[in-house]
């Protein structure tokens, strides 16, 4: 899925794979402990001149990845950076646990970040983590100690839904406010709000607390479920395809996930902003 989404992103950006300088894969459901998923995507694309690495911030990973890519481009170290959010959460689920297995889906989305002299692009970003909540949302690793009481036999997702809900609503509100303020804007200046598609109650509670009208909130959760780090690029792509993003519009992205982690970003859509691509499969 990641390779397919990346190919579409490159086609929309008008780039050949060999023009890529860097591939960043945001994922927490890699097929192998190593090599990196990004290396497999880089090879699948034929991007022989690109470096590649994975970034794991769970559901916040894609926004983290965008911010990391932005640093490479702004400093002039790289010109063309591919960021892919790709997940196969179906392999991490306990299908007997109806509290989690019905919530998640598999998917991938990709964007290309490039240097430009045109106005627009990323205006601000916020990243954060609170490791004291690590046990509220996690998947035991294959290298975990067998004496660790949190390890389960099949490395399935474990989630304390009630506590994650409270954390998610609070951090979506706080990080969105901070990112919007850092961009020199007010909440009413944001034209479209694209949250991580985790849970409709989280999205509704947070946006109501922020005073954001629901017509400014993009939601596709009912079609794909929670695709973790892939949810925001998929939603961003669909918003662009639906004609909801026009030149000069301000877009807020926000995500929360395991870690516990959070990230928010404000960007200005411009005529030179490259279209995204996505590839997904929904689980029911």
Q: Distance between CA 148 and CA 178 in Å, rounded?
A: 37
First to last CA, the chain: 18
In contact, 233 and 109? CB cutoff 8 Å: yes
- Out of 37, 56, 80, 196, the active site residue is 196
Helix (H) or strand (E) holding 165: helix 161-182
3-state helix, strand, coil in the chain (%, to 5): 40, 25, 40
| 237 is a catalytic site residue | no
In contact, 124 and 96? CB cutoff 8 Å: no
| 199 is a catalytic site residue | no
- Out of 28, 226, 237, 278, the active site residue is 226
Q: Is 68 helix (H, G, I), strand (E, B) or coil?
A: helix
- Out of 37, 59, 101, 237, the active site residue is 59
Give the CA dihedral 161, 255, 111, 45, nearest 10 degrees. Answer: -40
Q: Distance between CA 236 and CA 107 in Å, rounded?
A: 13
In contact, 59 and 226? CB cutoff 8 Å: yes
Q: Distance between CA 97 and CA 257 in Å, rounded?
A: 19
| 196 is a catalytic site residue | yes
Q: Distance between CA 113 and CA 121 in Å, rounded?
A: 9
User: What residues does 84 pair with on adjacent strands?
Assistant: 25, 110
In contact, 68 and 55? CB cutoff 8 Å: yes
**List of residues 6+ apart from 133 with CB closer than 8 A:** 163, 167, 259, 260
Active site (catalytic) residues: 59, 196, 226
């Amino acid at each position: 899925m990641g390779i397919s989404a990346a190919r579409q992103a490159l086609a929309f950006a008008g780039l050949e794979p060999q023009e890529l300088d860097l591939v960043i894969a945001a994922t927490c459901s890699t097929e192998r402990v190593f090599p990196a998923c990004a290396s497999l995507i880089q090879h699948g694309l034929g991007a022989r001149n690109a470096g590649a690495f994975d970034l794991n911030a769970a559901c916040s990973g894609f926004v983290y990845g965008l911010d990391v890519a932005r640093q490479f481009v702004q400093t002039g170290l790289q010109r063309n950076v591919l960021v892919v959010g790709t997940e196969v959460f179906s392999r991490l689920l306990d299908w007997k646990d109806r509290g989690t297995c019905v919530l998640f889906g598999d998917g991938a989305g990709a964007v290309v970040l490039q240097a430009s002299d045109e106005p627009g692009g990323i205006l601000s970003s916020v990243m954060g983590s609170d490791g004291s909540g690590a046990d509220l949302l996690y998947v035991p690793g294959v290298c975990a100690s067998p004496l660790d009481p949190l390890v389960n036999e099949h490395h399935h997702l474990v989630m304390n839904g009630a506590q994650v809900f409270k954390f998610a609503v609070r951090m979506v509100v706080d990080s969105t406010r901070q990112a919007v303020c850092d961009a020199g804007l007010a909440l009413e200046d944001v034209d479209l709000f694209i949250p991580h598609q985790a849970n409709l109650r989280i999205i509704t509670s947070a946006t109501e607390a922020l005073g954001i009208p629901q017509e400014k909130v993009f939601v596709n959760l009912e079609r794909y479920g929670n695709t973790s780090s892939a949810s925001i690029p998929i939603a961003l792509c669909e918003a662009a395809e639906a004609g909801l993003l026009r030149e000069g519009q301000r877009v807020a992205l926000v995500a929360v996930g395991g870690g516990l982690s959070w990230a928010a970003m404000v960007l200005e859509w411009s005529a030179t902003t490259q279209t995204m691509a996505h590839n997904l499969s929904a689980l029911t």
